[in-house]
Chain A
Amino acid sequence: MATPTDPDAALMLRVKGGDMQAFEALVEKYKRPLINVLYRMIRDLDEAEDLAQNVFIRVYQSADRYQASAKFTTWLFTIARHLCLNEIRRRGRHPAESLESSQQENEEQPAKQFEDTRTFSPPQSFLHEELERKIQEAVGELPEKQRLAIVLCQQDELSYEEIAEVLDCSLSATKSLIHRGRETLKQKLKPYLESGAWNEDSATLERKRCL
């Protein structure tokens, strides 16, 4: 078999052979972009992490079926897209159930406990936090496919062709989704776009409007 030029594909072939270190390297490399995409889709960090864990487990389980001809990131984000859309639909049907509780019911062996030493950095200022919240809200209100297209577009890992493959659309349809999503965002974030940048005035105006 020819050696794949994509280093991720090479790692994946090692995972196929049962190399756990290669799997760990892949998780380490893609955990952040994957969790970012999932977080922007479902807007819940804990759920996004659980979902990302499921995506990586699915990758591990299906390693034997991985074809080195496919780019690893496209494969990874396609799995993520399926699980994410399933989760959004499941949430629509059973809004109270969390992903973790439904997962643990099926597990016979209890999972090991690992300490989380992450520290949350405080927001730079109240205004920045509010702006970020507004942007995330506007993105979160987009239709599923437009949102996913916009979120994937923000990832350096994927080209337009690869985004199209993940979304299972043509290239032109993908660009059209992104364009429409961006136009909606422009309308929703108009007050902040017109000022060119976030400033005190627009924040006070917005707060007054809310009051």
Chain B
Amino acid sequence: MERRQRNSGKEAVFMKQANMQDADYQNLRETGWRRALTPSEEQRLREIAAAKPTLQKELDGDMALNRLLGRIPSAQVSSNFTARVTDAARRTERKPAWNERFAPFGWLSSNWMPRFALGLAMVCCGVISFREGQVAHRAQMARELASVTRLAALPPMEWMKDFDTINKLNKVAVADDELLTALQ
């Protein structure tokens, strides 16, 4: 039991060392992609790779590619390039910054006080608008409730059942002017 624990402890240390070496290898390899490694860095990389044949092959390929990429010649820049660029820059107009372009609002970016005041004013406006909206909504509800109450105050439906007959009786017949004239 004790031996097993000791072995597992050794394994953990070994795994940790292996992980550290892997991380070290990867870091140095990535550094080599960007620039030529120093002799000590290269030696360290080769030491780590020597332990694993697959890493060795990968490293050789990497080193050879680094050498090839290092052979790409630098572009030969025209001797008048800087003069051309500065001349072109002198002839172009600079785009003004945001606060210059919107000059009336320039004060906004210069100090925190106006920004804070503007923010506060906007929050106040928002709160007032919300409250006004709520009041208007309540008034509307009250109006609707009043109309329902008015409907409830109407006479009962039984009173209305002879409404048509009474309505007809009440109607005054229109005088027949032609008959009246004949009778006269």
Contacts and interface: CB of A to CB of B under 8 A. Distances in A.
B33 A116 contact: no
Interface string A100-140: 00000000010110111110110000001001100110010
Contacts of A65: 95, 97-98
B72 A20 contact: no
Contacts of A61: 92-95
Given A61-B94, A153-B33, A185-B65, A111 B82 contact: no
Contact of A109 (B75, B84, B91): B91
B117 interface: no
Given A31-B81, A196-B64, A112 B87 contact: yes
Contacts of A28: 82
B10 interface: no
B89 A57 contact: yes
Interface residues of B, number: 40
20 contacts: A23-B86, A27-B86, A32-B74, A35-B75, A53-B88, A57-B89, A60-B89, A60-B94, A63-B94, A111-B84, A118-B76, A118-B78, A135-B68, A135-B69, A135-B71, A135-B72, A139-B69, A156-B35, A160-B34, A186-B65
A64 B84 contact: no
A8 interface: no
A49 B82 CA distance: 11
B94 A154 contact: no
Nearest to A50: B84
B82 A27 contact: yes
B175 interface: no
A27 B82 CA distance: 6
A141 interface: no
A77 interface: no
Given A32-B74, A57-B89, A112-B87, A117 B82 contact: no
Interface residues of A, number: 56
Nearest to A139: B72
Contact of A60 (B30, B62, B76, B92): B92
Contact of A64 (B33, B77, B96): B96
B88 A57 contact: yes
A136 B30 contact: no
B93 to A, nearest CB: 8
Contact of A115 (B67, B76, B80, B94): B80
B79 interface: yes
Given A53-B88, A57-B85, A32 B95 contact: no
A156 B100 CA distance: 37
Query: Which of B64, B85, B90: most chain A Cβ within 10 A?
Result: B85
A197 interface: yes
A48 B71 CA distance: 19
B73 interface: yes
A57 B84 CA distance: 11
B84 to A, nearest CB: 6
Contact of B61 (A115, A178, A193): A193
B5 to A, nearest CB: 37
Nearest to B83: A114
A45 B76 contact: yes
Contacts of A197: 64, 67
A141 B64 CA distance: 19
Contacts of A72: none
Nearest to A66: B97
Interface string A150-169: 10011010001000000000
| The 3 nearest A-B residue pairs measured at CB | A114-B80, A64-B97, A39-B75
Nearest to B86: A24
